[in-house]
Amino acid sequence: MLLEQEHLADARNLIQTIPLGEIAITDFAVHSIGIIMSNERKEAEFRRFVSDVLLDTPIVVLHLSSGELGPVLDARELFNLDFDDAYMYVAAEKYNLTLVSFDADFDRTERGRKTPADVLKQEPERQ
């Protein structure tokens, strides 16, 4: 949403529907967003993202240790993923989470992925 990419409405709907304590993001994704926003001279928006999303909510920021970077490279090779996707995949495995993404590359993995629409279809089942 912050980067105003395709599927903005779907992402916004997910964030507004799912309890924030059930959402996680990797530190790698946070740093990537910071790089992109900084390159686009949107530092103020990134500061607001950090404050509003990371500091003032129960959203969890996931971290992989240096020792877990080997499995990231293994997942990258095994599933033909970009490094950032492999990082997210290994984090999802480590913390036993569902990958929610528009990126079809995760469909090649053992964990697969769900789109925000898939998750929202299941929302009534959670109550």
- Fold of the domain spanning 20-118: Rossmann fold (3.40.50)
The H-assigned helical ranges of the chain are 8-17, 27-39, 43-49, 69-79, 83-94, 116-126
Adjacent-strand bridge partners of 19: none
In the chain, what is the straight-line distance between the N-terminal and C-terminal CA atoms, in Å? 26
**Contact assessment for residue 2 and residue 37, using Cβ atoms and an 8 Å cutoff:** yes
Can you give the pLDDT of all 127 residues of the chain as single tens digits? 555 556 678 888 888 888 888 999 999 999 999 999 999 999 999 999 898 888 888 999 999 999 999 999 999 999 999 999 999 999 999 999 999 998 999 999 999 999 988 888 876 554 4
The pTM (predicted TM-score) of the whole model is 0.84
